[in-house]
């Protein structure tokens, strides 16, 4: 856990002034998804998995899943990747953070959320009192789209079962979806991110909070305040689960 002084530093990095913080009780929780309460439990239907490898992925342990992703050729992204980017962190984490796809740094290093966006994510985690190794970090797609283009529907359909199995194995208390594409992929919605953030959603029985991608926050620092509000909402859900 980060010390208070460290948290202050990271809150500063996020553009959050400590004297502005409000108590968690002041954070509005959307009342709509009443079915998301209590201890989360995954209930992932085998129908969710592509026919070709449905049984393999659905029943895979961590080691098998890692090997499957490494060898995966289910979509055309395998042709241009340097390597797959599986995910990193604690396999018993209460928090799972999900982005859309690896970028150039991630493709090179084989780890999600490195580089400047990764450093901001680390700052966001530290502001929550979390270390990177305490949470689990992954992307919807495990291979980099060429020139960082947007993920395509078919690629998400082929790759999401890997993420689903990761989440099923972890069984976290909260999923934080980072950025428009990750949010749209997980929630199967095309609503603006601004309309999806600030409330609790459900992803296969796990509470999900939508917020901005760290790369977007680097370009749009005025929205860091909203991202911090989203993270506080996520924290309030974890603390009451
Ligand atoms: Fe397989 Fe996913 Fe990579 Fe496509 S993006 S090749 S589905 S691991």
Helix ranges (H only) for 89-152 are 104-109, 115-127
Pairwise CA distance, residues 159 & 69, whole Å: 9
CB proximity list for 125: less than 8 A, separation 6 or greater? 131, 132, 134, 135
- Burial of residue 103, with CB atoms counted within 10 A of its CB: 0-12 exposed, 13-18 middle, 19 or more buried: buried
Q: Are strands 88-89 and 136-139 parallel, antiparallel or unpaired?
A: antiparallel
- In this predicted structure, what is the pLDDT of residue 231? 98
User: What percent of the chain is modeled with pLDDT above 90?
Assistant: 75
CB 171 within 8 A of CB 207: no
Structure tokens at 221: 């620092």
pLDDT at site 69: 97
Distance in Å, CA 84 to ligand 1 centroid = 8
Tell me which residue has its CA closest to atom 4 in ligand 1. 75
3-state secondary structure of 80: coil
Give the model's confidence band at 47: pLDDT under 50 very low, under 70 low, under 90 confident, else very high. Answer: low
pTM here is 0.83
The DSSP call for residue 232 is H
72: Cβ below 6 Å to ligand 1? yes
Nearest Cα residue to atom 7 of ligand 1: 159
Mean pLDDT of 226-230: 97
d(CA 125, CA 218): 16
Tens of pLDDT, residues 187-199:
999 999 999 999 9
Q: 149 near 76, Cβ under 8 Å? A: no
**Cα atoms found within 13 Å of the Cα of residue 65, Cβ hemisphere only:** 24
Q: What is the pLDDT of residue 67?
A: 96
200-210 pLDDT tens trace? 999 999 999 99
Per-residue pLDDT reduced to its tens digit, 9-28: 667 666 665 544 333 333 33
SS3 content of the chain, % helix, strand, coil (to 5): 50, 10, 40
In 3D space, the residue among 87, 48, 45 whose CA is nearest the CA of residue 65 turns out to be 87
Nearest to 183 by CA among 174, 193, 175, 173: 193
Nearest protein CA to atom 5 of ligand 1, as residue: 143
Token digits for 174? 């909260």
- List residues bridging with 210 in a β-sheet: 177
* Ligand 1 within 6 A of CB of 78: yes
Ligand 1 centroid–CA 7 distance in Å is 36
Testing ligand 1's pocket by substitution, the residue of 78, 98, 165 carrying the most ligand atoms inside 8 A of its CB is 78
CA-nearest residue for atom 2, ligand 1, is: 159
Radius of gyration from C-alpha coordinates of the chain: 17
Name the residue of 75, 138, 149 to mutate for ligand 1: max ligand atoms within 8 A of Cβ.
75
């Amino acid at each position: 856990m980060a010390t208070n002084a460290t948290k202050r530093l990271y809150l500063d990095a996020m553009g959050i002034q400590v004297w502005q913080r409000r108590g968690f009780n002041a954070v509005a929780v959307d009342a709509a998804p009443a079915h998301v309460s209590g201890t989360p439990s995954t209930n992932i239907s085998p129908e969710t998995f592509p026919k070709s490898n449905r049984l393999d992925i659905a029943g895979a342990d961590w080691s098998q899943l890692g090997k499957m992703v490494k060898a995966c050729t289910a979509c055309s992204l395998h042709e241009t990747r340097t390597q797959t980017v599986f995910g990193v962190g604690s396999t018993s984490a209460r928090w799972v953070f999900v982005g859309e796809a690896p970028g150039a740094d991630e493709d090179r290093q084989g780890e999600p959320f490195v580089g400047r966006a990764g450093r901001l994510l680390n700052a966001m985690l530290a502001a929550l009192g979390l270390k990177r190794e305490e949470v689990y970090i992954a992307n919807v797609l495990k291979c980099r789209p060429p020139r960082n283009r947007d993920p395509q529907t078919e690629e998400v359909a082929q790759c999401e079962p890997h993420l689903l199995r990761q989440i099923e194995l972890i069984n976290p208390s909260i999923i934080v979806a980072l950025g428009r594409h990750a949010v749209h992929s997980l929630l199967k919605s095309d609503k603006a991110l601004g309309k999806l953030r600030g409330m609790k959603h459900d992803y296969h029985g796990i509470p999900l909070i939508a917020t901005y991608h760290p790369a977007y926050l680097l370009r749009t620092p005025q929205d860091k305040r909203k991202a911090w509000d989203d993270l506080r909402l996520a924290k309030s859900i974890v603390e009451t689960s």
